Amino acid sequence: MPELPEVETIRRHLAPRVEGRVLHRLEILDARWTAPEDPRAVEDQLAGRLIERLGRRGKYLVATFDGDAHLLMHLRMTGTLLYDPPLGNGPDAAPAHGRVRFTLDEGRRLVFIDPRRFGTGRLLHGDRQLEQYLAVRLGLDPLGPAFTAAALKAMARGRVAPVKAFLLDQRRIAGVGNIYADEALFRARIHPLRPAGRLSLGQWRDLRDAVVEALEAGLAAGGATIDDYRTPEGVQGSFQNEFLVHTRAGEACPECGRAIVKLRAAGRGTYVCERCQPRPRAPRRPVVSTWGS
Ligand SMILES: [Zn+2]
């Protein structure tokens, strides 16, 4: 699933090609993309408008049109946005799973490909509606100034859920997913099953820096391609070649050489070096008497 570095890579590639252009035609071929809103209504409201800006909030791409209309696109599991892909039936052709087509005024196309069809497009009007929509869905931007160890520690206070679940919760930190959570926890030498509320300020400092470093390394590599992610030119990212632990079960830890293990945390396959990231001590179990049972 594309995370912040993948979505931001797509944004950086597309922004110079779409900003300042008029959306000549919008074809939403799969009504599920805009559900419950009628796709024809979204097409009618956006066709002919100038694309002023392509931004990103968490894992959302936000296309802002003249008249203060915002189209929020989420790629979810398998969404990709391809710029002017070849059309037809070849292996690289777009229409097979094309759910949405944007035709720009100079004739170039942008195609939203999405084999599993979980991606979404949502039209919002005005900055206020946009901010209200995002406020309940997105927490701190990990590349922004408010992403501090103190803020994280305050948010985690009293939380007994594993720190990995905390990192994955978009309402707390916007943009971190399974890949970057594993990489950051390894860099910070924190076990993913540690209760978030038990981390010290020093550990939050390490983890905060590790999240930023992992995301920046991902950005520098053009994102990570494990399944479907591609840049708008159809090129794979290369960050998967630089993973320290993610997907590397059985391989040697780059720090200590012990085998990396895969376990389950926050319901997700999670990769850890249990020497560099020691397991939290199990809470002492109360002695249960079997008398009288
Ligand atoms: Zn290790």
Q: Tell me how far the alpha carbon of residue 93 lies from the centroid of ligand 1, in angstroms.
A: 43
Tell me if 201 sits within 8 A of 153, measured CB to CB: yes
pLDDT reported for residue 286: 61
97 half-sphere exposure, CB direction, 13 A CA radius: 16
Q: Tell me how far the alpha carbon of residue 29 lies from the centroid of ligand 1, in angstroms.
A: 48
pLDDT along the chain (293 residues), means of 10: 94 97 97 96 98 97 97 94 80 66 95 93 97 97 96 97 97 96 98 97 98 97 89 92 97 98 96 97 63 45
Q: Tell me how far the alpha carbon of residue 36 lies from the centroid of ligand 1, in angstroms.
A: 48
Query: For the whole model, what pTM was predicted?
Result: 0.90
pLDDT reported for residue 281: 83
How many whole angstroms separate alpha carbon 173 and alpha carbon 3? 12
Question: Catalytic residues, which ones?
Answer: 2-3, 59, 268
Q: Tell me how far the alpha carbon of residue 257 lies from the centroid of ligand 1, in angstroms.
A: 6
Q: Tell me how far the alpha carbon of residue 245 lies from the centroid of ligand 1, in angstroms.
A: 9
pLDDT reported for residue 254: 98
DSSP string, 91-102: TT-SGGGEEEEE
Protein residues placing their CB within 5 Å of the ion ligand 1: 253, 255-256, 273, 275-276
Name the DSSP class of 196.
G
Q: Tell me how far the alpha carbon of residue 250 lies from the centroid of ligand 1, in angstroms.
A: 12
DSSP string, 32-54: GGTTTS-HHHHHHHHTT-BEEEE
